[in-house]
Amino acid sequence: MILKNKRILLIIAGGIAAYKSLDLIRRFREQGADVRPLMTAGAQQFVTPLAVGALSASHVYTDLFSREDEQDVGHIRLARDCDLIVVAPATADLMAKMAHGLADDLASTVLLATDKPVLVAPAMNPKMWSTKATQRNVATLKADGIHFIGPERGEMAESGEAGLGRMSEPMQIVETATLLLDGHAKPLLGRKAIVTSGPTHEPIDPVRYIANRSSGKQGHAIAAALAALGADVTLVSGPVTIPDPLGVRTIHVERAEEMRDAVLAALPADIAVMVAAVADWRVEAQAGEKIKKQAGEPPAPLHLIENPDILKTVGHHAMRPKLVCGFAAETQSVIENARKKLDTKGADMIVANDVSAETGIMGGERNSVRVITRDGVDVWPDMPKGEVAEKLAEKIASYFATS
Ligand code: C5P
């Protein structure tokens, strides 16, 4: 499984060779890759999203203006939440759009927005391939760092014409993709990481619970970023509405005690990043039935008791991971409190952020953090949560490189 944990965004454009993309999906998955398919309108004339979805076991992305897809993943994340983009088949039209920076549908928008390597497997009529316009576009794309495989010489499926224009065979595309992915550094290959993310829900009775505003965005992004650097990641997530990151083992829990149990079950590990906003307290005795409101009576008192501190438990555990990183969501004395946490929690690194309501960090898209270690404080500028995650994963990787 040479592509285990690799996340491939497969863009299928409209050409008869799209039928080969079905086989390509199978070949990628046989090698352990996660395939997220994206189809252009043209592609859907040749193969159905149903077949593509079934073979990839993934949602099929088709529409730039789909409200559901935008809420779920969004085109920018679609462009970045992968290790490699493969365009197969790539039509002359899609390559022309790429070469000119057009973005009038989901495929071209994602290709314009990505910061990941792109491998293009063209397929078209030999005349369309050899024509000056297409060759100009290919030259531009190569100069832009886009990788190509094919086209091959052979008979065209639809016209019987022979010449250069056939899409490369799926196995050749898989091999080239593997070479490209290997060329990208995986400094955390062979390291195991546990990440917690999201809030916890602490039940009061069967219908009510105590919760907080954590969305899980930052924790999930960190899990994905560690996986992108090669780590074998277990994500223990509280209740969130965002999708599981690709290439990560996600365990879903509700309560703090369940989260602790799942984290401890995932030990031993090299890295623990505890991002979850674990509820500090839970109701001591959860009511078995819905607590009834009694007219004129005061509400039933809730007796709260402390939840286990998962970070502290891991930080002082006999199987303590080599690197333990916690988060500190504070509204005041951010650095001072984070420093204290290094010791009390047994952590090596605390990522501190100011979650005062006016910062909009809790549940928002951006984060502004300071990273506190025993060596000092790094102040990072305000940036999207995905970038905070990538920078943190790189910092963690450099910790292993130097120690
Ligand atoms: O003590 P405080 O909640 O501010 O600490 C925050 C850090 O501790 C975060 O990394 C959070 O994930 C972790 N934590 C935990 N279990 C708790 C409370 C906090 O793992 N019960």
Same domain membership, residue 338 and residue 215: yes
ω into residue 239 within 30 of 0, thus cis? Answer: no
Same domain membership, residue 229 and residue 90: no
CA 276/CA 284 separation, integer angstroms: 21
Q: How many CB atoms lie within 10 A of CB 30?
A: 12
Tokens of 389: 């995650």
Same domain membership, residue 221 and residue 360: yes
Establish if 276 belongs to a structural domain.
yes
Q: Ligand 1 centroid vs 345 CA: distance in angstroms?
A: 9
Tokens of 39: 């189809």
Give the domain CATH number at 34: 3.40.50.1950
Same domain membership, residue 276 and residue 161: no
Query: How much helix, strand and coil, in percent to the nearest 5, is found in the chain?
Result: 35, 25, 40
Same domain membership, residue 121 and residue 48: yes
The confidence score (pLDDT) of residue 158 equals 66
Spell out the residues 6+ positions from residue 127 whose beta carbon is closer than 8 angstroms to its own. Answer: 163
Establish if 308 belongs to a structural domain.
yes
Establish if 1 belongs to a structural domain.
no
Gyration radius of the chain's alpha carbons: 24
| Range in 7-21, 31-45, 212-226, 354-368 with the lowest mean pLDDT | 354-368
CA 286/CA 284 separation, integer angstroms: 6
Which ranges in 103-155 belong to alpha helices (H)? 106-113, 126-130, 132-143
CA 369/CA 38 separation, integer angstroms: 34
Which residues contact ligand 1 via a Cβ below 6 A?
Answer: 196, 256, 274-276, 278, 307-311, 326-328
- Give how far Cα 6 sits from Cα of 9, 29, 391, Å: 10, 10, 19
Tokens of 297: 């009576």
3-state secondary structure of 341: helix
Give the domain CATH number at 280: 3.40.50.10300
Same domain membership, residue 318 and residue 223: yes
Catalytically active residues are 212
Same domain membership, residue 285 and residue 149: no
Same domain membership, residue 231 and residue 141: no
CA-nearest residue, atom 9 of ligand 1: 327
The confidence score (pLDDT) of residue 220 equals 97
CA 55/CA 50 separation, integer angstroms: 9
Establish if 81 belongs to a structural domain.
yes
| Range in 175-179, 195-199, 380-384 with the lowest mean pLDDT | 175-179
Same domain membership, residue 98 and residue 233: no
Establish if 187 belongs to a structural domain.
no
Q: Render pLDDT for 130-187 as a digit per residue (tens, 0 to 9).
A: 999 999 999 999 989 899 999 999 877 667 778 899 999 998 899 889 878 876 567 8
Which pLDDT band, with edges at 50, 70 and 90, does 65 fall under? confident
Picking from 163, 182, 201, the residue at the C-terminal end of a domain is 182
The confidence score (pLDDT) of residue 2 equals 76
Indicate the Cα dihedral angle 73, 79, 82, 84, nearest 10°: 160
Is the CB of residue 352 less than 8 Å from the CB of residue 326?
no
Same domain membership, residue 200 and residue 325: yes
Domain, as residue range, for 135: 7-182
Picking from 182, 214, 232, the residue at the C-terminal end of a domain is 182
Q: Ligand 1 centroid vs 324 CA: distance in angstroms?
A: 12
Q: Count the domains in the chain.
A: 2
Indicate the Cα dihedral angle 21, 25, 27, 31, nearest 10°: 150
Q: What is the mean pLDDT of residues 72-91?
A: 92
Same domain membership, residue 232 and residue 146: no
| Range in 172-176, 363-367, 388-392 with the lowest mean pLDDT | 363-367
CA-nearest residue, atom 1 of ligand 1: 328
Kindly tell me if the per-residue pLDDT of 309 is higher than 90: yes
Same domain membership, residue 38 and residue 143: yes
Q: Ligand 1 centroid vs 13 CA: distance in angstroms?
A: 46
The confidence score (pLDDT) of residue 206 equals 96
Which residue(s) pair with 250 in the sheet? Answer: 235
CA 120/CA 97 separation, integer angstroms: 13
